[in-house]
Amino acid sequence: MRIVRDVLLNLILITLALILTASIIALVEENVNRATTEGEGLNLGKMTGESRAEMIKQSVKSYFRKTWDDFTGSERGKTLRAIGLTFAVLTMTMALIFLLGLYWGLRAGYRGGWSNRVLSALAPVFSGIPAWFWALLFLWTLWWKWDIGAVSYANRLLEAKRGGEPEILAQLSALLIPVLALTLSNIVVYAFSVRNLVKREASQEYFFIDVLKGLPDRRVMRKLLRTVLPSFLTFTSYNFLNLMINGMAVEKLFEVPGIGKMLADSATVIYVPNEFGELKIPEFIFDGASVFFVTFVMAVFYFLNSTILEALYLHLDPRREINE
């Protein structure tokens, strides 16, 4: 079966990519540690190629071992909560993008009118504006002006706990602005992709035959949707990684303790005391194990997304080969 072959191929590619990424992370961590040590006046000497290769090998092993411990050890609860928050943000965002993006793009491509004009005007603008910009805009509009949503996920949960508010409602309120920011920053691009796919399919012979038959608009639109949906799923799969990276940036901005904040905290600058006890000496901290853990989770998310969308593609594509 094609889906089994694709899954196995993706697993092999992701495994190789993780090993390569772990090696690069280990090399970066070693260089950072060496630079920090030499900055403190200590000379570690030069490493030979063989010793450096052995160091990278041991670091890669420790990264995989630490990732396994995070899922099975005492930190499992914290790990699953972080992954769950990121998954919740991505799931709600993808649901909104699918529903609104498909409807908007299908309407703009089939019926044209104001929806097509607005979408065509907004697509070039929104394609170049990052999600964090819309997060700041929503932060100013919804939170500062109208007191809707929350600027800090952790603080919102503490307020809800003190006020006796249901935790699930507090979590949804805390994630409102991040999800809206991610949705708004991506929905125009996704809808424009659907619009272009519909325009292309509308030029096909079968479309004119359906129109000449006098089929109702809803039936024609459902057929168009069935035809363009596989291509849209492919587009969604390719852009999932970009959505995930934007989501991680928004997580850091709103202090959502997901894998995005974990990544930001694993490569940061802290200030250590000087001889007078003042925090004025900057020191760069790079936690290679945490960086690899985030990379591993991103790879798993991407694998699951691509596998599910590939299965849907094979199921929905009316032009697939029956005997493949």
List pLDDT tens digits, range 71-89. Answer: 988 888 888 999 999 988 8
Q: Residue 43: helix, strand or coil by DSSP?
A: coil
Distance of alpha carbon 193 from alpha carbon 222, whole angstroms: 17
Strands 279-286 and 267-273: antiparallel
Write b or e for each residue in 216-246: b if 16 or more Cβ atoms lie within 10 A of its Cβ, otherwise e.
eeeebbebbbebbbbbbbbbbbeebeebbeb
Tell me which residues of the chain have a pLDDT lower than 70: 1-3, 36-49, 131-132, 135, 140, 206-208, 210-215, 217, 272, 274-282, 313-324
pTM for the whole thing? 0.77
- Domain coordinates of the chain in residue numbers? 1-73+258-324, 76-257
Neighbours of 45 (CB within 10 A): 6
CATH topology of domain 76-257: MetI-like fold (1.10.3720)
Confidence (pLDDT) at 322: 41
Which H helix or E strand runs over 184?
A: helix 176-201
